[in-house]
Amino acid sequence: MDIPAELETKIDEAITQYPVSKRSATLPLLHLIQEQLGYIDEAAIEWVAKKLGLEPINVLELVTFYPMIRREPAGKHHIRVCRTLSCAMAGSYELLDTFCKYARIDRQHNGHGTHLLKSEDGKYSIEFVECLASCGFGPVCMINDDFYEAVSQEEVPQLLEKYQ
Amino acid sequence: MASTTRTPHPREKRIIFKNIDRPGWTNDIECYLHDGGYEELKKAFTMKPEQIVNEVKASGLRGRGGAGFPCGVKWGFIKPGGSKPVYLICNADESEPGTFKDRYIIHQDPHQLLEGMIISCYAVNARLAYIYIRGEFPEGAKILEHALAEAKEQGFLGKNILGSGFDLEIYVFRGAGAYICGEETGLIESMEGKRPYPRIKPPYFPAVLGLYMCPTIVNNVETLCNVKHIVRIGGAEYAKMGKPNNTGTRLLCVSGDVQQPGYYEFEVGGITIGELINDICGGMKPGRTLKAVIPGGSSAKVLNAKDRYKIKAKQPDGTTVELEMGLEDIPIDFDTLAAAGSMAGSGGVIVMDDTRDMVWALNNINEFYAHESCGQCTPCREGSLWMKKITERMLHGGGVEQDTDTLKTVADNIAGRTICAFGEACAWPTQSFIDKFRDEFAATAGKKGSENGSTNH
């Protein structure tokens, strides 16, 4: 697997933050690789294992556990809508539907543990996530790393406009 | 995307949130230093570590993450002069539904957290510390990393801090979307690069066998911020805020059906549920009445607005009296909410009005816990999923008469039978929703197919 030199420098620096056990750097490395390459494939799992002196299963068991680590590419822009109680009371189910409508994503078969929902052109992917910790200002969502509070359905088209 | 900044309500007592939404305030170190920042760290270095531990004990500070365990007692478990290194971890995995306080500290006042944390590390002799921040706070993680670099540049971190001879490094560790990492032993496993399956206590009390099997203190963001203020005013003075055994201030996060949801800070027990809703949050929405309150994050037991609550309260002279009060008269503090059958938990107050369907609300909560159960213990892994399946089926008109009792039986067989408190966290909503709103559950269970009009999801 080809890891760009700049990324490997970041990776080496991250490992120094765990002087007691390199294994602690597994999740940080997965974050770094996913940020750059979009998802974690078999080659990335083996690369991380080798880098940290672990068995691939040690890495795989984290990849399959943590909801934020992806095994397939997301859309160019990834949308997360909060599903949990306060946001649901504020209309997050309707917000998810509206995002799907304007991003042209087929919402069928959505749910935890299923594949990411993506638009056909690959521009957007969407998922329902659990509590994003801004419950007073629901419904909330994230687009990539950007965070939005009190999002009305009417705002969805202009919001998507920002992410081309 | 309406503005969410607020000026503090006159009844608030802002200490931890002093700088949140403060005009002209920025989160860089210059602003913090200009405002007298890191003076308490300098003061701390004039004290012996044990003195700080004693001040924290005297303050009565209880953990702000959910369990309310006395912070000084936790620190006291670390025996000075041990052969193993000590670690401190700041739990910034804020993920209890209804809770949104740490986000603002991290984003707007990161140096307050760092100062509290450095003082705390000095007090327990930790030379390596981590901030475990949830993965969904990418901006927060960047802000903290920047703040750490600033603090290091100023000599507040690194070798021989301010000439004290004390060395400390702090790093940020990012989670990846798993609620269980807020449980301190799950968090530790996560930091060790393993699946975050909580450890069984005993023997794995973090203060004895924590990170890398060394003594470890795990404290919530708000708790660590409080330490700075305890050093500033002294434990005895701090303990004058709030009431006995419920000292200091508390950040309350209000969400749901009130006119002005948001984040507020009050002396512990200084406000009742009714005052919070009506005086601070502008009351219920027009034409609506209060139906239910979850007072301490979604795992806290729900309280019904129609019920009367019998509360045993300790008087200043040590005697106990039994008071009877309505939901709105309950003061928000650790002991009274526990006496009312719920908990102050993480300070997340979720308010529901008379339009809310309690089966729908519980189903939403059940889906959360079914998704977040780590899967280690069978009662929780299976039970949380079954509770969700039952409430979901009830909502979609597939309920049967026994559902209410079945739900309760499933919940009763999770609580107390798991390695960590997640078992209780997922059982308490089901137990309490059924206990407080049994008629509603029975009615929904009896409805068939399209009869049930409340299921828009």
Give the closest residue to B11 by CA, choosing from B216, B226, B272, B257: B272
- Give pLDDT, residue B446: 84
Give the closest residue to B331 by CA, choosing from B349, B355, B353: B349
Q: How far apart are CA B346 and CA B294, in angstroms?
A: 11
Local confidence band at B457 (pLDDT 50, 70, 90 cut-offs): very low
- Give pLDDT, residue A40: 97
pLDDT at A114 over 70: no
Q: What does the DSSP 8-state code read for residue B258?
A: B
Residue B193 in tokens: 């690069």
Residues from chain A contacting residue B296 (CB–CB below 8 Å): none
- Give domain B243-353's CATH number out of 1.20.120.1200, 3.30.70.100, 3.40.50.720, 3.10.20.600: 3.10.20.600
- Give pLDDT, residue B55: 97
pLDDT at A111 over 60: no
- Give the end-to-end CA distance of chain A in Å, rounded to a whole number: 30
Under a CB-based contact definition with an 8 Å cutoff, are residues B354 and B336 in contact? no
**More confident: B66 or B432:** B432
Cβ contacts below 8 Å, chain A against chain B, sum to 152
Give the residue-averaged pLDDT of B62-68. 91
CB contact under 8 A, B368 and A130: yes
Give chain A's mean pLDDT. Answer: 94
pLDDT at B453 over 90: no
Give the closest residue to B292 by CA, choosing from A85, A140, A149: A85
The SS3 of residue B58 is helix
- Give pLDDT, residue A116: 84
Residues from chain B contacting residue A88 (CB–CB below 8 Å): 364, 457
- Give pLDDT, residue B454: 46
Give chain B's mean pLDDT. Answer: 95
pLDDT at B452 over 80: no
Q: Domain B29-240 adopts which CATH fold?
A: Rossmann fold (3.40.50)
Residues from chain B contacting residue A80 (CB–CB below 8 Å): 136
CA A43 to chain centre: 19
Local confidence band at B451 (pLDDT 50, 70, 90 cut-offs): low
Cβ contacts of residue B3 below 8 Å, gap of 6+? none
- Give pLDDT, residue A112: 60
Instruction: Compare CB distances from A67 to B178, B196, B298 and report the shortest one's residue.
Output: B178
Local confidence band at B161 (pLDDT 50, 70, 90 cut-offs): very high
Residues from chain B contacting residue A133 (CB–CB below 8 Å): 94-95, 99-100, 102-103, 134, 136-137
Local confidence band at B52 (pLDDT 50, 70, 90 cut-offs): very high
Q: How far apart are CA B387 and CA B429, in angstroms?
A: 10
Strand partners for B294: B350
Residues from chain B contacting residue A161 (CB–CB below 8 Å): none
- Give pLDDT, residue B455: 42
pLDDT digits (tens, 9 = 90+) for B398-444: 999 999 999 999 999 999 999 999 999 999 999 999 999 999 999 99
Strands A77-82 and A124-129 come out as parallel
Local confidence band at A86 (pLDDT 50, 70, 90 cut-offs): very high
Under a CB-based contact definition with an 8 Å cutoff, are residues B101 and B65 in contact? no
Strands A124-129 and A117-118 come out as antiparallel
pLDDT digits (tens, 9 = 90+) for B259-292: 999 999 999 999 999 999 999 999 999 999 999 9
- Give pLDDT, residue A109: 58
Instruction: Compare CB distances from A134 to B100, B212, B365 and report the shortest one's residue.
Output: B100
B-proximal residues of A, 66-85, CB under 8 Å: 66-69, 80, 83-85
pLDDT at A100 over 60: yes
pLDDT at B2 over 70: no
Domains along chain A? Answer: 5-63 (1.10.10), 77-161 (3.40.30.10)
Give the residue-averaged pLDDT of B216-223. 97
Q: Domain B358-451 adopts which CATH fold?
A: de novo design (two linked rop proteins) (1.20.1440)
- Give pLDDT, residue B314: 78
- Give pLDDT, residue B7: 85
Under a CB-based contact definition with an 8 Å cutoff, are residues B61 and B123 in contact? no
Instruction: Compare CB distances from A135 to B174, B194, B255 and report the shortest one's residue.
Output: B255
Residue A11 in tokens: 């990776």
Give the range among A79-83, B192-196, B449-453 with minimum mean pLDDT.
Answer: B449-453
Instruction: Compare CB distances from B103 to A17, A58, A133 and report the shortest one's residue.
Output: A133
CB contact under 8 A, A65 and B195: yes
Question: Could you identify the residue written with the tokens 């921040």?
Answer: B133
- Give pLDDT, residue B456: 41
Local confidence band at B313 (pLDDT 50, 70, 90 cut-offs): confident
- CB-based contact (8 Å) between A121 and chain B? no
Give the closest residue to B145 by CA, choosing from B116, B167, B170, B119: B170
Strands (E), B295-389: 303-304, 308-314, 320-326, 348-353
Chain A interface mutation, best of B100, B259, B388, B433, highest count of A Cβ atoms under 10 Å: B100
Instruction: Compare CB distances from B136 to A52, A89, A142 and report the shortest one's residue.
Output: A142
Q: How far is A42 from chain B (nearest CA, A)?
A: 18
Q: How far apart are CA A22 and CA A53, in angstroms?
A: 8
Q: How far is B239 from chain A (nearest CA, A)?
A: 29
CB contact under 8 A, A133 and B352: no
Q: How far apart are CA A29 and CA A27, in angstroms?
A: 5
Give the residue-averaged pLDDT of B295-311. 96
Strands B169-174 and B126-133 come out as parallel
Residue A96 in tokens: 């998810």
pLDDT at B46 over 70: yes
CA B179 to chain centre: 12
- Within 13 A of B452's CA, how many CA atoms are on the CB side? 25
C-alpha distances (whole Å) from B55 to each of B89, B238, B267, B321, B396 are 20, 9, 19, 31, 55
pLDDT digits (tens, 9 = 90+) for B321-337: 899 999 999 999 999 99
pTM of this prediction?
0.96
Q: How far apart are CA B192 and CA B214, in angstroms?
A: 12
Q: What are phi and psi of B313, to 5 degrees?
A: -120, 140
Q: For chain B, which residues make up each domain, given as ranges?
A: 29-240, 243-353, 358-451
Cβ contacts of residue A41 below 8 Å, gap of 6+? A71
pLDDT digits (tens, 9 = 90+) for B97-151: 999 999 999 999 999 999 999 999 999 999 999 999 999 999 999 999 999 999 9
